[in-house]
Amino acid sequence: MQSLSNRAKILEKKPMTLAERAYLPAIFQGLSITLRHFFMKKATIRYPEQTRPFSPVFRGLHVLKRDEQGRERCTACGLCAVACPAEAITMVAGERKKGEQNLYREEKYAVSYEINMLRCIFCGLCEEACPKAAIYLQADKMAPPRFERDEFIYGKDRLVEPVSPDTRSKRGIQLTPEQADKLRTQLA
């Protein structure tokens, strides 16, 4: 066959030596590489028990904030979903009913709110687009590993921050000590 370039090198097929046929040099070479790596600094860590420090530009996992009275701030306006370049956010809006003023801050609220963490690129545009200071990304948290794809769809059960002032997210609008005390009294 005619070669396409003149860089082809014809190799001679030499018969194998006795040692090569016994695979001994290859086995010892392989063992020496294994031993060398055994004493080298490990390149891997035991994730998720151990984690590496986050990059300073890492934006983190979303949280839907509550206000000083423990009500959900999100009004389901959809601006975060429109701003999202990955189309990762979906929501269903509902109207607040009589007697639900202590649950939702605005007359309209998100009946369901979902973020697909497999689509999300953690750009933070949803946070910037929100007019109600309702969604923030927490730089100290990330979506933990899961086995099923469905488990990366985060609903309100995992996104809305706890009511208790002591377990709230450190991101976004924070309660003053007086507001936190008032809320603790309400919850008691």
**Residue type present at position 18:** L
Q: Could you say which of 61, 135, 159, 175 contacts ligand SF4 (CB under 6 A)? A: 135
Minimum Å gap between C-beta 179 and ligand SF4 is 20
Host H or E run for residue 30 = helix 24-38
- The footprint of ligand SF4 on this chain (CB under 6 A) covers a number of residues equal to 27
Backbone angles phi, psi at 46, to 5 degrees: -85, 70
Which member of 69, 94, 108, 125 binds ligand SF4 (CB under 6 A)? 125
Q: Closest separation between CB of residue 93 and ligand SF4, Å?
A: 8
Question: Under the criterion CB under 6 A, does residue 121 sit at the interface with ligand SF4?
Answer: yes
| Closest to ligand SF4 by CB, 88 or 183 | 88
Residues 45-104 that bind ligand SF4 (CB under 6 A): 74-80, 83-86, 88-89, 91
Q: Which of 61, 63, 115, 139 binds ligand SF4 (CB under 6 A)?
A: 115
Beta carbons within 8 Å of 149's beta carbon, 6+ residues apart: 118
User: What is the per-residue DSSP string for 115-178?
Assistant: EETTT-----HHHHH-TTS-EEEETT--PPP-SSGGGGEE-HHHHBPPSSGGGS-SSSS---HH
User: 180 near 165, Cβ under 8 Å?
Assistant: yes
Range in contact with ligand SF4 (rule: CB under 6 A) among 26-34, 41-49, 125-133, 180-188: 125-133
Residue number, 84 or 183, with CB nearest to ligand SF4: 84
Do residues 76 and 134 make contact, with C-beta atoms less than 8 angstroms apart?
no
Residue 130 near ligand SF4 by CB under 6 A = yes
Q: How far is the CB of 67 from ligand SF4 (least distance, A)?
A: 12
- 152 or 185: CB nearest ligand SF4: 152
Spatial neighbors of 74 by CB under 8 A, at least 6 apart, are: 64, 109, 110, 113, 132, 134, 135
CB neighbours (10 Å) of residue 10? 5
Q: Which residues bind ligand SF4 (CB under 6 A)?
A: 74-80, 83-86, 88-89, 91, 115, 120-126, 129-130, 132, 134-135
